[in-house]
């Protein structure tokens, strides 16, 4: 078995031609995302979300992208979780998509804002019943005091909402990440990777190539 320090591959990615890429990075993102979906990558919508805590610790974790529109990128979570509390104090966040099979990475930096209750409810009601109960049952990021606490909480809400519509919890919903920069990376031979960053300039986007 190879030693960790000897694990490496030489990428083969096709060149990214800035003349051909879309002037709007969200359109470019959609194009790349469709490719990731076509290639049957497991959960292409999984992304690393990083936030900054009150005492300036960076917290990272995976969340699922649940929508993209001309304003930005949407994910759903518990607003009272660690990430929810981080965002309350500092809504600057980053999102990283890594599609290893495509030798591609996208890094988005921007600001996270709560979406409307109506939009959150629309998505919440589209989730499987068990996921809706789980949203009520989980005090996401809080300490579990004893072994069966979570299970008991799930059973409690299952009983409470039996034969009833499950309402959107006040503490649960979506965030829209409005991008300020979006960087597209393609792995290339001999580590000559291709990096293109879009920087928001009022309403337009400045496109810049970066050394790998």
Q: How crowded is residue 89: how many other Cβ atoms within 10 Å of its Cβ?
A: 10
Q: Is 191 a catalytic residue?
A: yes
Piece of the chain touching ligand FMN by CB under 6 A; list 19-27, 77-85, 103-111, 144-152: 77-85
Q: Is 77 in the site for ligand FMN (CB under 6 A)?
A: yes
- Select the residue interacting with ligand FMN from 82, 88, 180, 195 (CB under 6 A): 82
What pairs with residue 184 in β-bridges? Answer: 106, 196
To the nearest whole angstrom, how small is the minimum distance from the Cβ of residue 102 to ligand FMN?
18
Size of the site for ligand FMN (CB under 6 A): 16
- Could you say which of 3, 127, 162, 191 is catalytic? 191
Closest CA to 177 of 85, 106, 75: 75
Q: Is 123 left (phi over 0), alpha (psi -120 to 50) or beta?
A: alpha
Minimum CB separation from ligand FMN for residue 35, in Å? 20
Report the alpha-carbon distance of residue 8 to residue 4 in Å, rounded.
Answer: 9
Residue 72's closest CA among 120, 126, 25?
25
Task: Give yes or no for residue 172 binding ligand FMN (CB under 6 A).
Answer: no
98 binds ligand FMN (CB under 6 A): no
Residues 6+ apart with CB under 8 A from 44: 33, 36, 37, 97, 99
| Residues forming the site for ligand FMN (CB under 6 A) | 43, 46, 59, 61-64, 75-78, 81-83, 140-141
Residues marked active site are found at 191
């Amino acid at each position: 078995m190879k030693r960790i320090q000897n694990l490496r591959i030489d990428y083969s990615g096709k060149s990214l031609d800035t003349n051909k890429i879309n002037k709007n990075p969200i359109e470019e993102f959609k194009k790349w995302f469709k490719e990731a979906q076509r290639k049957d990558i497991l959960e292409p919508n999984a992304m690393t979300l990083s936030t900054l805590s009150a005492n300036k610790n960076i917290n990272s974790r995976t969340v699922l992208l649940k929508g993209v529109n001309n304003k930005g990128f949407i994910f759903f979570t518990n607003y009272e979780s660690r990430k929810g509390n981080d965002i309350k104090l500092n809504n600057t966040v980053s999102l990283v998509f890594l599609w290893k099979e495509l030798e591609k990475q996208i890094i988005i930096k921007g600001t996270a804002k709560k979406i409307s209750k109506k939009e959150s409810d629309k998505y919440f009601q589209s989730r499987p019943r068990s996921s809706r109960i789980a949203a009520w049952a989980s005090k996401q990021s809080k300490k579990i005091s004893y072994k069966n606490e979570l299970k008991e909480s799930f059973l409690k809400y299952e009983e409470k909402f039996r034969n009833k519509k499950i309402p959107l919890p006040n503490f649960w919903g979506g965030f829209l990440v409005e991008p300020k920069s979006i960087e597209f990376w393609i792995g290339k031979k001999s580590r000559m990777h291709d990096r293109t960053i879009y920087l928001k300039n009022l309403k337009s986007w400045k496109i810049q190539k970066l050394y790998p």
